[in-house]
Structure 1
Amino acid sequence: MNHKLKIALYEPDIPQNTAAIIRTCACLGAKLEIIEPCGFLPSDKRFKRVVMDYMDWDKIDLYQSSEHFFNAKKNQRIVLMTTKASISYTKFKFDKNDTILFGRESAGVPEKVHKLINDRLKIPMNENTRSLNIASSVAIVLAESLRQSKLI
């Protein structure tokens, strides 16, 4: 079995963020999964400018909807990163087969997705701050999960 941490993006809507996450996953050896629909096209100039030559569609799994995603993952652990969680990602034991799901930049994930996932984590932040950029969040959590799984 191929053990590779997976980063999943729920209906991403900012092309530069998705492109930066593609680069992060390529550089750190994580699999990227995108749950459609996206709020942009791959031909978007902003996307192309950031993704540069790191784009490889063979290394990205696309899911037509959240239903397709959850059906494909029914026997796998999904970890949701959300500002609504109470547990810090540093207090969690990641596994090398985890899929770490990040919500849409503008709205996170809907309540129905929250209810499907048992493991919900947050990145602790200073008070009076709303959220980190999703590309920064992916890099922070991916690095920790790779460290814990001894994949880097």
Structure 2
Amino acid sequence: MLAENPTLPLTPAPFRIVLVEPEIPANTGAIARLCAATRSELHLVHPLGFRLDDAAVRRAGMDYLDRAVIREHRSLAESLPPGARPWLLSARATRGLWEAEFARGDFLVFGRETQGLPRDWVAR
């Protein structure tokens, strides 16, 4: 899997999409395709529920995967550098998505498909 693509411009990514312990390979592949098309970064927090070379990831990512910037992390905290602006997106959120004022380079954080984000992070 491609960690960084040197052909992409060095300007800040529009968004940084963080998937915390994703479980469904096809979802991750489709999100990687979206990230490649929008020049956003994809950050994957381990453990993953599949291998990145899984056929379902490749199928859903199609030929965009080679253009995606994908970074892997051992923890959610590790995926957010100092000064990061994380937005935790959850079905249990108290504010609606449309109320947010996103900015270039923000981190959009999504939890596991079946369990969402860790409750201690949502409570912050």
TM-score band (shorter)? 0.7 to 0.9
* Structure 2 residue 114 is the aligned partner of structure 1 residue 114: no
Q: Where is the helix percentage greater, Structure 1 or Structure 2?
A: 1
Pair 1:88-2:81 in alignment: no
The alignment's C-alpha RMSD in Å is 1.8
1:35 lines up with 2:39 in the alignment: no
Question: Which residues of 2 match residues 5-16 of structure 1 at below 5 A?
Answer: 5-16=15-26
CA separation in 1, counterparts of 2:40 and 2:64?
13
1:99 aligns with 2:110: no
- Tell me which stretches of 4 or more aligned residues in structure 1 moved more than 4 Å: none
Alignment-mate amino acid for residue 46 of structure 1: A
Write out per-residue CA displacement over residues 36-58 of structure 1, whole angstroms, 9 at most, x where no aligned residue: 11000123222222112211387
Q: Take 1:36 and 1:52, find their aligned partners in 2: how far apart are those partners?
A: 23
Contact 2:40 2:69 in 1 (8 A): no
Number of aligned residue pairs: give it: 114
Q: TM-score, normalised by structure 2?
A: 0.82
Determine whether 1:3 maps to 2:16: no
Amino acid at match of 1:13: E
1:23-45 Cα deviation digits (max 9, x unpaired): 11111121111111100012322
Distance (Å, rounded) in 1 between the aligned partners of 2:26 and 2:68: 20
What TM-score results when the alignment is normalised by the length of structure 1? Answer: 0.68
Structural mapping, 1:1-152, within 5 Å = 2-4=11-13, 5-56=15-66, 59-70=69-80, 73-116=81-124
CA distance in 1, matches of 2:67, 2:19: 15
Q: Secondary structure at the match of 1:87?
A: coil
C-alpha distance in 2, partners of 1:97/1:34?
16
Query: Which structure 2 residue ranges, 5 or more long, are not aligned?
Result: 1-9
